[in-house]
Amino acid sequence: MDWNKCDGFHTGDNGMKECALSSMWLPNQRALIPLSDKGIRAQRKVWICATKGAESGRNARLRKIICRVFLCLLPLLILPGCGNRIPVTPVTGTITLNGAPVENAMVTFIPDSSGTVATATTDKTGKYILKTYRGDKTALGAFPGGYKVTVVKRVQTDFPESDFENLTPEKEAELMNKIDTTLKGRAPNYKYLVPKKYESQQTSGLTAEVPTKGKTACDFDLED
């Protein structure tokens, strides 16, 4: 309400100062409303309606502003320190042997100091994407720091591959008995499709450094 339009003031029944108007400017209607001389009651009615309308508009705008501010701040309130995210750096790469991609090889990043290992399996193009596991959480990447790297691809030669196909609970039990009887506590025999030296961190000669930010590409070309 524009108090400059008032012809005078008086105190209403509720003790509030009210304006005795000959006309009133209603912002929502963008119009100057003429008032009759029939008394203060009619003027008070117009004043109350105008005030309620203005207050309602201001409250609605205030609610919108508060909602927008809350939505903007919500990611900041949720993400930092919430414990749902493992702070790792994305690490990918390609494993080749004498220049040819190696499929289904197990890649393991072993931290130089105490920490968590990261692992991956190569696809048909030799590409891998590291994963880190902590409790029931999984993250794509590895913790920053230095690593020794191993690459393993081997097949056991004590039993044909067909023994491990289409296993039912009964066939699985028979296979376990067969393995126990054949191996008699010894380690299985393996054929290494990637040289055995790459199986151990002491002999692989492969290392990697994972930074705190950005993406890291670690390609390894192995040799016989």
Higher pLDDT, 148 or 137: 148
**pLDDT tens for residues 49-68?**
444 455 556 666 667 676 56
Provide the residue ranges of all domains of the chain, joining segments of one domain with +: 3-78, 91-153+193-222
Which residues does 109 contact at the CB level (< 8 Å), separation at least 6? 91, 117, 118, 119, 130, 142, 147, 148, 149, 208, 210
Which residues are CB-neighbours of 123 under 8 A, at least 6 positions away? Answer: 103
Contacts of 168 (CB under 8 A, 6+ apart): none
Better-scored residue on pLDDT, 85 or 100: 100
Query: Under a CB-based contact definition with an 8 Å cutoff, are residues 178 and 164 in contact?
Result: no
Question: Coil, helix or strand for 192?
Answer: strand
Mean pLDDT, residues 10-15 taken together: 52
Query: Is the domain defined by 91-153+193-222 classed in CATH 2.60.40?
Result: yes
Q: What is the DSSP letter of 2?
A: -
Nearest to 205 by CA among 148, 124, 134, 139: 148
Confidence band, pLDDT 50/70/90 cuts, at residue 41: very low
pTM check: above 0.85: no
Provide mean pLDDT across the span 27-42.
Answer: 46
